[in-house]
Amino acid sequence: MAKNRNLAVLFLSLVSAILLAASLWGQEAKPAPGGLPVRYEELTAPDFVRALEKSGGTCLIPLGVIEKHGPHLPLGTDLLNVRLVAVRAAQQEYTIVFPEYFFSQIFEARHQPGTLAYSQKLMWAILEETCDELGRNGAKKIILVSGHGGNSSFLPYFCQAQLARRRDYAVYLYRPTGDPKAEEQIRKMRKTTTGGHADEEETAVMLANRPELVHLDRAKNQSGADQKRLTELPDFYTGIWWYASFPNHSAGDGSPATRELGELVVENEVKQLVKAIQEVKKDKAVLELQKRFFDEAENPLKTQQ
């Protein structure tokens, strides 16, 4: 009887050990509930490995900024809006979306309250180290999506400087060619024809994104009209050009914005970004050419003439 009881105990512990092992194995192999999160910060370390595989080694950094957006939109408008588009696109075409990033070029708004204008050294270093760290973690295709117009010189130069030293990852700066049909539809729906910052379109996107943060009644408190204070220098670029035109850090009129317009703009932007993520996933040329270039650059005298 005692022997039988011992055998029974042994049998039961074996069964429970097998069940425990099976359940642990199940946990390990099971995908996250609702599928893998697209947001980097929401992934566990084991999920990160699977996410990279699923994303084809891509990681998307949506770049925002903290700056004034007229008198009626939040300081983080570019950050909030670019993340909305990036997350929605990643949910359709899987990629990992990097956490909140707002180290962008914004010296021209230093005179406005709340602007975070980091030095050029820091901006450069943090983006370069972020890319290096992503590359070290296996994200060999890094997609930069800027939601901020002030990055228009900084980011292409950052990409040019990728060739300064060998690296085993590639940086792809997203520059959409645009969809003329969708643009025509947006143009027809708009009530204003000028803009560029905290304008009708940007206000509309924020209405579609976070309506509680939009203060339409304050949109006309400051002028977003071009002040044209540098018309005598048509052949030059100077850093003060934006301030010369738009000292209130607002370009255009946000007051006629509607949620419907915002939804149309977001839908179009998501559609284009989905296509772009697919292009990067398919691409083999950039990394191959970069490798060949770095090999040749190490010994230029051996480069075929």
Residues at the interface with Zn ion (CB under 5 A): 77-78
Cα separation, 112 vs 139, whole angstroms: 37
Smallest gap from residue 155 Cβ to Zn ion (A): 15
Nearer to Zn ion among residue 102 and residue 169 (C-beta):
102
Smallest gap from residue 162 Cβ to Zn ion (A): 26
Taking CB atoms, the residue at the shortest distance from Zn ion is 78
Smallest gap from residue 142 Cβ to Zn ion (A): 23
Nearest Cα to Cα of residue 265 among 207, 305, 221: 207
First to last CA, the chain: 91
Nearer to Zn ion among residue 78 and residue 93 (C-beta):
78
Cα separation, 146 vs 149, whole angstroms: 8
Nearest Cα to Cα of residue 290 among 183, 145, 140, 155: 140
> In the numeric block, which tokens belong to residue 305?
């003439």
Nearer to Zn ion among residue 78 and residue 269 (C-beta):
78
Smallest gap from residue 296 Cβ to Zn ion (A): 41
**Rounded to 5, what percent of the chain is helix, strand, coil?**
55, 10, 40
Smallest gap from residue 202 Cβ to Zn ion (A): 5
Nearer to Zn ion among residue 77 and residue 151 (C-beta):
77
Give 48: exposed, middle or buried? Use CB within 10 Å, 0-12, 13-18, 19+. middle
Nearer to Zn ion among residue 55 and residue 151 (C-beta):
151
Smallest gap from residue 63 Cβ to Zn ion (A): 12
Cα separation, 290 vs 133, whole angstroms: 19
> In the numeric block, which tokens belong to residue 135?
């590359």
Nearer to Zn ion among residue 57 and residue 70 (C-beta):
70
Cα separation, 124 vs 103, whole angstroms: 9
